[in-house]
Chain A
Amino acid sequence: MHIYANPARFLKIAKWLTPLLLVSGLVVTGAALLWGFTQVPPDRLMGDTVRILFVHVPTAWLGMGGWTAIAIASLVELVWRHPLAAIAARAVAVPGAVFTAICLATGSIWGRPTWGTWWVWDGRLTSMLVLLFLYFGYIALSSSLAREGQSSRIAAIFGLVGAINVPIINRSVVWWNSLHQPPSITTGGSAIDPVFLWPLLIATIGFSLLFGGVILARMRMILADIQAEARLRRRAQKADMESDMQAEGAVS
């Protein structure tokens, strides 16, 4: 794991991988959404609103996957003190929050023609909203700790504690009565017809590539900020030392 602990080695890989993930993600996501929009027939029960799932489902998975990644990176930071783990966790937070917000918005838009309501306070929707607030809290906490130059261990503990919400979201439709349907894709197989399943899986791959590309871009941004700040601080210290020496020379 510590092979990639060196920021210089990470940057060497991230330099070519970031545009590759972003461009391939844009192409694959665009193709999948176009396929879902133009080629997929209306569903027998949901009608045309089935097309919304090609945006809603991948963003929901990645919203939950994002917090799982934060929890894993936090654990790695706390246990192994991997230097890039805290940076990775901070980099995941914004795309995780954006995908969670898109999931909630598209779910609400889907609910109006399908359930007859924009929102219900049931287990799935409420726990997903809690996830969005957890992301906001994590972004505020980790940004303020970084700005103050303090240790990111408190943010890492927050990332680990917040992970309890991920299995709650996943099991909410099983544990409580909900308007939301139970899981359609499980380890036992899929209840979705292949005509809908394939564009859904390809859209998921496309959004995942974009998610990866954005995380790498944000890791590079955070690393560059840290490096610039360290250089400016070193220069300021050097200038202070030089002026002290000049003052001492003038006195003697």
Chain B
Amino acid sequence: MTESLDQMLFVYASYGVGVVGTLAMVVQSWFAMKAAEARRDRAKGQ
């Protein structure tokens, strides 16, 4: 028995996982860095 799969659905899913995962990591790292640097500057200013 053979099954017919729409290959493009798997391509969309892979690109979705790759793009969303990478972007989430980039955005989280950037904002975590900015927040930590703001905390350091506040500690310096107090």
Contact at A48–B30, with CB atoms within 8 Å?
Answer: no
Contacts of B8 in A (CB 8 A): 48
Q: Which residue from chain A places its CB closest to the CB of B45 in the assembled complex?
A: A231
Contacts of B18 in A (CB 8 A): 33, 55-56, 59, 102, 106
Consensus secondary structure, chain A interface: helix
Contact at B14–A224, with CB atoms within 8 Å?
Answer: no
Question: Whole-angstrom distance from the CB of A219 to the nearest CB of chain B?
Answer: 9
User: For the side of the interface on B, what is the size category?
Assistant: 20 to 34
Interchain Cβ contacts within 8 Å, total number:
106
Tell me the residues in window 26-44 of chain B with beta carbons closer than 8 Å to chain A beta carbons. 26, 29-30, 32-33, 36-37, 39-40, 42-44
Q: How many residues of A contact B (CB 8 A)?
A: 42
Candidates A37, A49, A102, A217; contact of B10 at CB < 8 Å:
A49
A218 to B8, CA, bound (A): 35
Given contacts A49-B11, A221-B37, A228-B43, 6 further A-B contacts (CB under 8 A): A33-B15, A109-B13, A214-B26, A222-B36, A227-B40, A228-B42
